[in-house]
Amino acid sequence: MDVAKECLEAGITEVGPGKRFGDVGAAIQELAKDHGYGVVRELGGHGVGHALHEEPHINHVGRQGHGMRFREGMTFTIEPMINEGTPEIRLLEDGWTVVTADKKLSAQYEHTIAVTSSGCEILTPWHLLLRKTAKLA
């Protein structure tokens, strides 16, 4: 879980106007690999708008310096799925539930991001809410 959260954070640090989509995937992939984990390739982040999953697709694996460039105002998710074993997954019969093909553990964290003139803004600050809740306990 810690590595999945770190992968999300590493991907977010690569978002900003003029940066490339591949930068996000490369950061996530490198960190996961350094810790011995696989990154699911079939699923990725997505645009946020009128439908559940919209363009653009944000790969969680990639090559630094490749892909479309981020532009101010883009809004999308980054949600890497980090697997204990191989990156392969299976979709169950319900058409929604995803499991690892090798039946090993997986973890996923997600944020919705907006590209700003100076970088990006996290629109789903659950990590801040968790800190507040912990302080109250």
| pLDDT confidence bin for 129, thresholds 50/70/90 | low
Average pLDDT over residues 118-135: 75
Q: Would you tell me which CATH number, out of the four given (3.30.9.10, 3.30.450.20, 3.90.230.10, 3.90.550.10), belongs to the domain 2-136?
A: 3.90.230.10
Q: Are 87 and 41 in contact (CB under 8 A)?
A: yes
- In this structure, the strands spanning 111-116 and 89-91 are unpaired
What percentage of residues in the chain have a pLDDT greater than 90?
85
Neighbours of 46 (CB within 10 A): 19
| pLDDT value of position 134 | 56
| pLDDT value of position 125 | 79
User: For 91-121, how does the pLDDT look when each residue is reduced to its tens digit (9 = 90+)?
Assistant: 999 999 999 999 999 999 999 999 999 999 9
What is the average pLDDT score of the chain?
A: 92
Q: Are 80 and 8 in contact (CB under 8 A)?
A: yes
Neighbours of 107 (CB within 10 A): 17
SS3 at position 63: coil
Of 56, 61, 59, 52, the residue nearest 75 (C-alpha): 56
Q: Does residue 133 register a pLDDT over 80?
A: no
Could you tell me the residue ranges of all domains in the chain? 2-136
